[in-house]
Amino acid sequence: MPEIIKLPQSKRIFDVVVTVVLFLLLSPLFAFIVIWIILEWIFIKDSRGSFLYMEKRVSQGKKFNFYKWRTFKTKVLDEALNSGRVIQTTELQSDPKNLTYYGRFLKRIYMDELPQLWNVLKGDMTLVGPRPTNLENSEYFKKSGDFSREIMICGLTGPFQAQKGHAILSQTNLDKEYADFLIKNPGWKIILRDLKIIFQTIIIVLEAKGI
* Residue 87: closest CA among 96, 103, 98, 100: 98
How far is 158 from 163, CA to CA, in rounded Å? 9
For residue 164, the model assigns a pLDDT of: 79
> What is the rounded CA–CA span in Å between residue 72 and residue 19?
26
Residue 4 lies in a domain: no
Helix (H, G, I), strand (E, B) or coil at 52: strand
pLDDT of residue 211: 45
Q: How many C-beta neighbours within 10 Å does residue 146 have?
A: 19
What is the domain extent for residue 90? 9-204
pLDDT score of 23: 95
Residue 191 within any structural domain of the chain: yes
**Which amino acid appears at position 211 of this protein?**
I
Radius of gyration of the chain (CA): 17
Q: Cα–Cα distance between 120 and 16 in angstroms, integer? A: 7
Question: Looking at the domain assignment, is residue 2 inside a domain?
Answer: no
Q: Give, in degrees to the nearest 5, the angle at Cα 137 between 124 and 113.
A: 45
- Looking at the structure of the chain, the number of domains it has is 1
With respect to residue 65, please indicate whether it lies within any of the assigned structural domains.
Answer: yes
The reply to whether 43 falls in a domain is: yes
Parallel/antiparallel/unpaired status of strands 126-128 and 133-134: unpaired
Tell me: the pLDDT tens digits for 87-98? 777 777 778 889
- Closest listed residue to residue 129, CA positions, set 144, 146, 151, 108: 151
- For 160-203, write each residue's pLDDT tens digit: 999 877 777 788 899 999 999 999 999 999 999 999 999 999 98
**Does a structural domain hold residue 169?**
yes
In this prediction the pTM is 0.90
User: Which residues of the chain are under the pLDDT cut of 70?
Assistant: 84-86, 209-211
d(CA 94, CA 91): 5
Asked if residue 94 is part of any domain, the answer here is yes
Query: If you count them, how many residues does the chain have?
Result: 211
Residue 3 domain-assigned (yes or no): no
